Amino acid sequence: MSTYVASYVFARTDLLAHITTTLQNDERFVAAWLTGSFGRGEQDVYSDLDIRVIVADDYSEAFCAQPWPDGARTTDERLALFSLFGIPSVIYDAHGNAPEGGTFTYVLYENGLNVDWILVPQSKAQRASDTLLLFDTVGVSMEPAYTIEPEEIRAKAASEQVNFFWTMTPIAVKYMLREQPVAFHDFLELLHNVLREAERLVAGEPEHYHGGAYATLCTTLEERVNAIRQLCERMLALMPQVAHMGGYVAPSPMSIMTIWLAMADNSALQARYAANREAVLARIVETLQADERIVATWLSGSYSRHEQDRLSDLDLRIVVADEYANALCEVPWETASPTTIPERLEFIRQFGEPGIIFDTKSMWPEGGSFTLALYYETGLHLDWVLLPQANAQRPAESMVLFDMVNVPLEPAPEPESLEQRITTASDMTGFFWMIAASSLLCLYPPRYDPVQFHLLLDWLHNALHDVQHAVDGTAKPYHSGAYAQLAPTRREQIAAYRDLCNRMLALMPEVERMGGYVPLSPMQPVALRLRMLEETEM
């Protein structure tokens, strides 16, 4: 064990003892335990501390207040508590990670130690079995044991996962064909997680924590194609079990994936895909213009930005006359469905036989529907959004195909106020350093996880862009795929990481000049973690 790693472990042990003794002797706190790797008994020398602190109800209003859902700040009461154990360099509230009524605060101390603090009111506290108790003065009850959900519920959930897998796979292949390896690995990891969730539901097992990525880094086109094929084969093997449970699975989804995978390194097949898409688009315009139910149609997505390429899908926005809206736009399910209503199915079948469907309510406007369809014969990917005329507004960034009723334009968004820009710049700066400290754990030899590192590296890119646009007062433009580039070796990964940190350090004075707040010396604990990484490679 290197000198720095040994001192890190000693400091973490000392900090945990200090926290335990302090909280146990404070009447405001009635119990505490460790979750995460320590709770599961899987900790290693690099593990952080995940501490759940139970607050006596008389004090919970002060300690568990949530004046914001997330941000690079915390309340004065929580800050005073966290500061008892060192100087916080980076703080980030993310209460979505806490149980009901509780709060979550990430704290990175100047000495490089990280504590995830979860504070929960006593009245809402329950302790899971995979925890390490530090103290308990009131006898907090244990969480109920896991019970297997009824097969009918699991079958429905598994059907949704299976269908989602097949709708996302062509998108992963699309990024592969566009030579965007980081975006490809992002979707590859998504496919792994969706497949494993479907397998868990079929087996009737509880959720199991998995640290890091399931996917492995693929540096060649052949490796990427094989990775997709292997996942598809595993899903195909699972589907009969889902069907046996009473779930729904699409017939022959692999025929569509075969079309997409055949386009790998084959420009002629990519050109054929594009030609089929343009032919279908022309037919859609001609057909819908003659359909009395449809009053306007436009394209959003890459076409609206004039960024379409040979692999682009069609993002269609169809405005339905109000007298037909109930029949065509109805969505009788709350979660996504692998089928659609008969009226909508008949509508989208005019342009080919859809082999895979993902149907849900549109995000906007109210009363609209969203149907992703992948077609058997061509492999075409079409997103159908059907909008009731009464609620329809057209974004300024759109490509009008026809409009018989002069659909009104969406109001232009109000520019962010200086106060909003300051909050965004400040919060995203803190978010950057939280992810920066965490992402280094992916590079330590026992945990080396280049896929997870690249996904977090792209988060850092996005946070940096958010801060820059908030400082400049400009809208962040749409960006397809990932900002991060693939760094195949650990040396290149560290270099890419250092570059992003240096760019953020250079930007932070501008955040302060506009009136924002930035973390105190964030590079100090990060540099310590980098030093620990360097020592492990000596």
User: 179-224 pLDDT, tens per residue?
Assistant: 999 999 999 999 999 999 999 999 999 988 898 999 999 999 999 9
d(Cα 124, Cα 387) in Å, to the nearest integer? 42
d(Cα 416, Cα 17) in Å, to the nearest integer? 46
Give SS3 for 462: helix
d(Cα 510, Cα 504) in Å, to the nearest integer? 10
450-487, pLDDT tens digit by residue?
999 999 999 999 999 999 999 999 999 999 899 999 99
399-416, pLDDT tens digit by residue?
999 999 999 999 998 999
Q: Report residue 511 CA to chain centroid gap.
A: 26
Q: What is the pLDDT of residue 520?
A: 86
DSSP state of 127: B
d(Cα 489, Cα 498) in Å, to the nearest integer? 14
Lowest-pLDDT range of 326-330, 351-355, 445-449: 445-449
458-467, pLDDT tens digit by residue?
999 999 999 9
Q: What is the pLDDT of residue 538?
A: 45
Give SS3 for 75: coil
d(Cα 250, Cα 234) in Å, to the nearest integer? 15
Q: Give Cβ neighbours of residue 502 (< 8 Å, ≥ 6 apart).
A: none
Q: Give Cβ neighbours of residue 425 (< 8 Å, ≥ 6 apart).
A: 466, 467, 470, 471, 511, 514, 516
Task: Please state, for a pLDDT cut of 70, what percent of the chain lies above it.
Answer: 99
d(Cα 336, Cα 171) in Å, to the nearest integer? 18
DSSP H helices, 120-266, are 151-177, 181-203, 221-244, 254-262
